């Protein structure tokens, strides 16, 4: 178990491009925490993980594990284990040899290696596969061997680099649950890289959303989901992504409004004082797809905002239906509605949402305007 | 309508006929040679293609003992085996470095190695001769071994580099995290994983060097240091050629090639058909 600390960590690749892959990342991962690094391809999350692993040099900043500076410590001496996206099983070795490979290097007694390999194999349901070579295993079995190879070492920190990406959907859910179970059992510090928000939301104690090499936001999954720091996080977390619209802030009798040609939203989550300076100025207004309802389904008497447009696609998903609405040419809005939806493409619709479902972002920086009320 | 006529053209029967014809084309000279190896030169002169009657197995004995065939055979074995072992080890290590490590001049070195494959070996013959004379390695089996190593190294590095570059980086990273250093990773990961490609180069190098004539005939003069191709040539006089004994000698010289091929053939085929390593 270990505390992992990244202080102003940067990575600039040498060479003609001099690409800055990771830029001033500050991150503290508590003992036993399951931290998920989440972001799109090329955001620097894997590079950050590889720097923690010691597979990538650190250009600047300090990396420490349990207070010990690790910048120049070799990967093998960091007491970490890593599970790779490709599993990285040694193809010429049996499952048993793969599991014991790291232990043999550490001059551990043969009987102890056998005991640990056997225990890990039994825990992960690999006991019958010990003599098989990786090519004779299914994707899920390979994944478990990769996990077992990390577990058998009993490291202080586990690193996962998109370990579920190569699995099919059903197996991914199973393995995800298996990982959560193992985390509860081992109580080890785990750092997990993914671009899949569902994995991040379901597995992480906290998530660290990265964009363009920088940390966009760190927090508990639901906290990040409901209080996104900027428009990037707001769009990246959530499927379908949050609807964002360019609006103007206007003063009205009952408070402030965000409005444009097709949208009108009372801003009840913010106190008047907060919005005073924004009156008459542009702002980005956001609302999540699941907070939108058809006007006919609105709760009578409740204050709500509204969006008008023309439905152009209806996507039934079984349990629910996605309604895609064009509010004005080039501007779209997605609503997650009941599976009994009667709307047809081409229909004019009015979508409503409760005032507490509103998000507001600065139109220049994209930063969230923090709400004063829940 | 090529797409529809091709399958018809290459139906099973046609393919079998083509393969059969090709097998006959390549195998017939070998069978002919095999029959001649147990016939005397006199018998061969009477009828080139006749079936041996009787089988003169004694020819193998006289080729091995009465002539210096055993000496030639062991000379070849020592020179070729040591050259192939060294070429394989150095070639694999160099290919691993070129494929895996980024360093200044990596592609330059690779380019130079590659360019040396393009030139015909005859170009280097005179300079190599002079170098061997200067270093007292002329007419010396060790000198010939060094020449063989230098001849086969570029192609070996070139072939192995291509294969090693396709070994996923994750394997190396996993081994590093498991606690292994660069040299151990080479021994424990690169060599076993790259075995199909290594077996391929090993067979190619062995066959190439086992049959090598040009450098051996120029760089070796002492009859006791002759390798097999030069030794067999010794049976050819200006006015008389002992065809029977030559055929027997060639048959003996082919045996190690067949043994090496049989031993590594499975890996050779895997090496030649290897796609991405999963």
Q: What is the pLDDT of residues B121-168, one digit of tens each?
A: 888 899 999 999 999 999 999 999 999 999 999 999 999 999 999 999
ipTM of predicted assembly, 2 dp: 0.83
User: Is A199 or B240 the better-scoring residue by pLDDT?
Assistant: A199
Domain boundaries, chain A: 4-231, 243-362
At the fourth CATH level, which superfamily is domain A4-231?
P-loop containing nucleotide triphosphate hydrolases (3.40.50.300)
State how far the Cα of A346 lies from the Cα of A33, in Å rounded to an integer.
49
> Of A123-127, A358-362, B138-142, B213-217, which range is least confident?
A123-127
Of the candidates A75, A80, A91, the beta carbon closest to that of B277 is on A91
CA A260 to chain CA centroid, nearest Å: 32
- In this predicted structure, the answer to whether residue A13 has a pLDDT above a threshold of 80 is yes
> Of A361-365, B2-6, B73-77, B214-218, which range is least confident?
B2-6
For the ranges A58-72, B222-236, B255-269, the maximum mean pLDDT occurs at A58-72
Mean pLDDT of chain A: 91
Q: Average pLDDT of A337-359?
A: 92
Alpha-carbon distances of B231 from A142, A154, B226, B240, rounded to whole Å = 55, 63, 6, 16
The residues of B whose Cβ lies within 8 A of any Cβ of A are: 168, 170-171, 173-180, 184, 189, 192-193, 195, 277-278
Contacts of B74 (CB under 8 A, 6+ apart): none
Q: Which CATH class is domain A243-362?
A: mainly beta
pLDDT at B240: 67
Length in residues, chain A: 374
The residue to which tokens 């309802």 are assigned: A293
State how far the Cα of B193 lies from the Cα of A190, in Å rounded to an integer.
30
Domain boundaries, chain B: 2-37, 68-273
Please state which architecture CATH assigns to domain B68-273: Orthogonal Bundle (1.10)
pLDDT at B225: 93
- In this predicted structure, the answer to whether residue B212 has a pLDDT above a threshold of 60 is yes
Question: Are the C-beta atoms of residues A30 and A3 closer than 8 Å to each other?
Answer: yes
pLDDT at B118: 84
| Structure confidence by residue, pLDDT tens digits, B1-17 | 455 566 666 688 888 99
Q: A234 vs chain B: nearest CA distance in angstroms?
A: 33
Q: In terms of Cα–Cα distance, which of A360, A365, A40, A364 is closest to A196?
A: A40
In the Cβ-directed half-sphere of A51, how many Cα atoms lie within 13 Å?
30
pLDDT at A131: 94
| Structure confidence by residue, pLDDT tens digits, A222-254 | 999 999 999 999 999 988 999 999 999 998 877
With pLDDT > 70 as the criterion, what percentage of chain A qualifies?
99
Of the candidates A75, A86, A91, the beta carbon closest to that of B176 is on A75
- In this predicted structure, the answer to whether residue B272 has a pLDDT above a threshold of 70 is no
Angle between helices A139-151 and A169-186 (to 10 degrees): 20
* pLDDT class of A269 with cuts at 50, 70, 90: confident
Cβ-based contacts of B180 with chain A (< 8 Å): 76, 105
Is there a contact between B176 and A135 if contact means CB atoms under 8 Å apart?
A: no
pLDDT at B6: 64
Q: Average pLDDT of B210-228?
A: 92
- In this predicted structure, the answer to whether residue A20 has a pLDDT above a threshold of 50 is yes
Mutate to test the interface with A, among B103, B104, B179 (most CBs of A within 10 A): B179
- In this predicted structure, the answer to whether residue A210 has a pLDDT above a threshold of 90 is yes
Q: In terms of Cα–Cα distance, which of A222, A227, A223, A193 is closest to A210?
A: A193
User: Can the peptide bond before residue B54 be classed as cis, meaning omega within 30 degrees of 0?
Assistant: yes
CA A358 to chain CA centroid, nearest Å: 22
Indicate the pTM of the whole model.
0.81
* pLDDT class of B276 with cuts at 50, 70, 90: very low
* pLDDT class of B53 with cuts at 50, 70, 90: confident
> Of A20-29, B108-117, B260-269, which range is least confident?
B260-269
Following DSSP, what letter does each residue of A225-236 receive, concatenated?
HHS-SBHHHHHH
Q: In terms of Cα–Cα distance, which of A52, A356, A49, A86 is closest to A227?
A: A356
pLDDT at B273: 54
pLDDT at B13: 85
State how far the Cα of A182 lies from the Cα of A188, in Å rounded to an integer.
9
Question: Are the C-beta atoms of residues B193 and B171 closer than 8 Å to each other?
Answer: yes
A323: which strand partners? A314, A335
């Amino acid at each position: 178990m270990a505390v992992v600390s990244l202080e102003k960590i940067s990575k600039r690749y040498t060479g003609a491009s001099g690409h800055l892959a990771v830029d001033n990342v500050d991150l503290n991962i508590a003992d036993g925490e399951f931290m998920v690094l989440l972001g799109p391809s090329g955001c620097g999350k894997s590079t950050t993980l590889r720097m923690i692993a010691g597979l990538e040099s650190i250009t600047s900043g300090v990396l420490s594990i349990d207070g010990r500076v690790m910048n120049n410590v070799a990967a093998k001496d960091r007491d970490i284990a890593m599970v790779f996206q490709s599993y990285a099983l040694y193809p010429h070795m049996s499952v048993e040899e793969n599991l014991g490979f790291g232990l043999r290097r550490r001059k551990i007694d043969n009987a102890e290696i056998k005991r640990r390999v056997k225990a890990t194999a039994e825990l992960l349901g690999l006991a019958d596969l010990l003599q098989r070579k990786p090519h004779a295993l299914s994707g899920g079995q390979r994944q478990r061997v990769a996990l077992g190879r990390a577990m058998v070492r009993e490291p202080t920190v586990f690193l996962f680099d998109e370990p579920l990406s190569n699995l099919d959907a059903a197996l991914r859910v199973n393995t995800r649950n298996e990982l959560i179970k193992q985390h509860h059992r081992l109580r080890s510090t785990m750092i997990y890289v993914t671009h899949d928000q569902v994995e991040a939301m379901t597995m992480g104690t906290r998530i660290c959303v990265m964009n363009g090499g920088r940390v966009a936001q760190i927090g508990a999954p639901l906290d990040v989901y409901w209080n996104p720091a900027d428009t990037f996080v707001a769009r990246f977390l959530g499927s379908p992504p949050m609807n964002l619209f360019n609006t103007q802030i206007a003063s009205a009798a009952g408070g402030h409004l965000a409005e444009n040609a097709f949208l009108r939203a009372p801003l009840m989550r913010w106190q008047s004082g907060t919005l005073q300076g924004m009156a008459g100025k542009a702002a980005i207004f956001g609302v999540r797809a699941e907070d939108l309802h058809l006007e006919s389904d609105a709760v009578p008497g409740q204050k709500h905002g509204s969006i008008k447009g023309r439905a152009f696609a209806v996507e039934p998903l079984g349990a629910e239906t996605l309604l895609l609405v064009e509010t004005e040419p080039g501007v779209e809005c997605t609503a997650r509605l009941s599976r009994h939806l009667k709307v047809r493409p081409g229909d004019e619709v009015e979508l409503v949402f409760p005032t507490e479902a509103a998000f507001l972002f600065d139109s220049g920086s994209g930063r969230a305007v923090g709400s004063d009320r829940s | 309508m090529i797409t529809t006529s091709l399958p018809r053209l290459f139906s099973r029967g046609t393919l079998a006929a083509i393969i059969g014809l090709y097998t006959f084309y390549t195998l017939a000279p070998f069978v002919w040679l095999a029959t001649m190896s147990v016939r005397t030169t006199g018998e061969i002169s009477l009828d080139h293609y006749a079936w041996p009657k009787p089988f003169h197995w004694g020819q193998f004995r006289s080729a091995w003992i009465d002539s210096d065939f055993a000496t030639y055979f062991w000379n070849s074995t020592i020179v070729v085996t040591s050259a192939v072992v060294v070429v394989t080890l150095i070639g694999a290590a160099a290919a691993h470095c070129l494929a895996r490590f980024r360093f200044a001049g990596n592609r330059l070195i690779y380019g130079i190695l590659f360019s040396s494959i393009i030139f015909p070996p005859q170009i280097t013959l005179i300079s190599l001769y002079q170098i061997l004379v200067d270093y007292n390695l002329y007419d010396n089996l060790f000198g010939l071994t060094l020449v063989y190593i230098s001849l086969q190294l570029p192609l070996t590095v070139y072939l192995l580099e291509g294969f090693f570059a396709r070994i996923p980086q994750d394997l190396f990273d996993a081994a590093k995290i498991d606690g292994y250093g660069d040299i151990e990773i080479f021994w424990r990961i690169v060599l076993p994983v790259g075995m199909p490609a290594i077996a391929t180069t090993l067979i190619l190098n062995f066959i190439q060097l086992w049959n090598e004539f040009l450098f051996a005939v120029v760089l070796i003069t002492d009859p006791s240091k002759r390798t097999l191709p030069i030794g067999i040539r010794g049976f050819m006089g200006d006015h008389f050629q002992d065809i029977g004994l030559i055929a027997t000698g060639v048959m003996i010289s082919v045996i190690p090639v067949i043994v090496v091929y049989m031993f590594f053939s499975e890996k050779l085929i895997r090496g030649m058909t290897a796609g991405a390593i999963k």
